[in-house]
Amino acid sequence: MACVSREQHDECQEDCPRCCAWADEVEVEVVTFEGNQYTINPRPKPGQVLSRPAWHEYFLGIAEAVAARGDCRRRQVGAVVVDQYRRIVSTGYNGTWIGGPSCLAGDCPRAMSSVEPGSSYDTGPGTCLSTHAEANALLYAGVALTRTHSLYVTATPCGGCARLIRGAGIALVVTPNGKYSPMDL
């Protein structure tokens, strides 16, 4: 028997197909944020099969979105700290302190240099003003909140960030290239 209302379907104990009468009602919600309009996806059509990403794909996707806020001309990296219940604890992206100089505005010596990627970030012409994404995510979470959590990051952490990750007690690091124990970084 098909449900005749959304409320009835929500209370239904049967494994009824998505062909109930309520599924024909298409509700589209348009939200305006900072002058941009976003459409919220309507309910699925009858017979439409929906899929969702696996947890690692989901959190790496969020890390990619966080990376878009990165304030670096050379590379934008995002990181997400996730607890054992798959809840986001904090996020971070590479950039300077609040109100600090902006790499995108040309304030960072490294951005204007021709130093090779991976060279020293702390000395010489390649000095970088930013804090890395992993470090920002850990700082925002606080060490007490990061023990046994996972860190999703869009790039393999550098040596300095690997030390911070180990010190924070992160249990698992997931990058697009694979999963790692912090001791293996």
Catalytic residues: 134
Q: Which residues pair with 30 in a beta bridge?
A: 39
H/E stretch holding 78: strand 78-82
CA angle 120, 126, 130 (to 5 degrees): 85
**Residue 75: which of 156, 141, 172, 152 has the closest Cα?**
156
How far is residue 56's CA from residue 63's CA, in Å, rounded to a whole number? 10
